[in-house]
Structure 1
């Protein structure tokens, strides 16, 4: 799955991904109630991807398929990004790493539970240390925003609510562009149908944010380097 010029680095990344996929911590040594079903960690990473989709956790359909975003949320996300299925699932170009690798189960109302805490505590720091810097990061949902903004030294841009954090997208993007390894960071709501009302109440998202996001994604996929990806 790795595609890097460093054979030792590629081998180490592949070994790490294999350990993540074999993880059963949330069933065998959980922080709180154990996972109520067999774990099935889902992620797609490589040493060559320029874009990271940092999502929340798999849903029921993804738990069954083993492939991220094989649901209506995935259709909406790909529309937001302006990419087709083939591009989205090309792991040499786009990495997908949720904050919780396994489907966390559902609450009494039928909504998905938050990502399991075990994943970040066990895997994420090592995973992102093993991956090269990305040119573009989609931080989908508040857990991903909190983790990746802190990881990049941009924690001050995490506001009191998701709406405020997304509304500050220009400032987040500019701050990422100023890093030693420039990266276009986009803080996004989850593309679930449950957020359709949010989209209607916040028209700036589709009118202003998405065109810039799609332009930056096109540049990143075309191989734009450094500051060139933000012009």
Structure 2
């Protein structure tokens, strides 16, 4: 049987959908996990830059996320320890206004549960952005309320805002995120990376 990662890499379920976006691109699933991983970063979907490179969080958002986690680039991209599993494996494209489209539901419905079954050794789940919050926590509340309730799930799970530059104002208005959440998150990440 073909390994799950290879099945996802070959997926073209959204070819027509992506061809109809402003970017008119083809599917390019970005798959970054191994069953041995102990840390799961559950994100939203790759952006245009990641679509080009084929490497998750290979952009300024990734730099900020690595800083939040206290991980070097080598540690972050070590698939044997860190799995990066978005709600949509492909860049969904832009709408007519140039905004990111949401991850297609069919991607998560087709692949996400199967990937989670392979990741049996996960000890820490980091949810990045509202789509990941909704899927993994079943919450209907907004990002701020979900992140504010971080103590309800720590230390096995942390819900984070997206590390995009678009959220810089959010971060400035919520100093508790950097003061309270990040030290606890970094401590747990370091424990698992160096254990």
1:189 aligns with 2:154: no
Offset at 1:21? 0.4
Partner residue in 2 for 1:68? 56
- Name which one, 1 or 2, has greater alpha-carbon Rg: 1
Q: Please name the residue that 1:205 is paired with.
A: 177
Structure 2 length normalisation: TM-score? 0.93
SS at match of 2:158: strand
1:68-147 paired onto structure 2 within 5 Å: 68-147=56-135
Shift of 1:112: 1.2
Kept in 1: contact 2:37–2:119 (CA 8 A): no
Question: Which segments of 5 or more consecutive residues in structure 2 lack a partner in the other structure?
Answer: none
- Conserved 8 A contact 1:26-1:34: no
Q: Paired residue for 2:146?
A: 165
Unaligned runs of 5+ in 1: 1-11, 150-154, 178-183, 224-231
Q: Kindly report the root-mean-square deviation, in angstroms, between the aligned alpha carbons of the 2 structures.
A: 1.8
The one of 186, 189, 192 equivalent to 1:214 is 186
Structure 2 Cα separation of the partners of residues 206 and 162 of structure 1: 15
Cα distance per residue 1:34-68 (max 9 Å; x no partner) = 56311000021111111011111111110000000
Could you tell me how far apart the structure 2 residues matched to 1:210 and 1:130 are?
Answer: 28
Provide the rounded CA distance (Å) in 1 between the counterparts of 2:130 and 2:88: 13
Distance 2:178 2:6 in 1: 38
Which digits, 9 at most, give the CA deviation of each residue in 1:163-203, with x for residues without a partner?
00000001122xxx6xxxxxx10000000000000001111
Shift of 1:107: 2.3
Counterpart secondary structure, 2:99: coil
Higher RCO, 1 vs 2 (CA within 8 Å, ≥6 residues apart): 2
Shift of residue 159, structure 1, vs aligned partner: 4.9
**Distance of 1:77 and 1:107 partners within structure 2:** 25
Give the distance between the partners of 1:55 and 1:102, measured in 2 at CA.
12
User: Given the two structures, how large is their TM-score scaled by the length of structure 1?
Assistant: 0.79
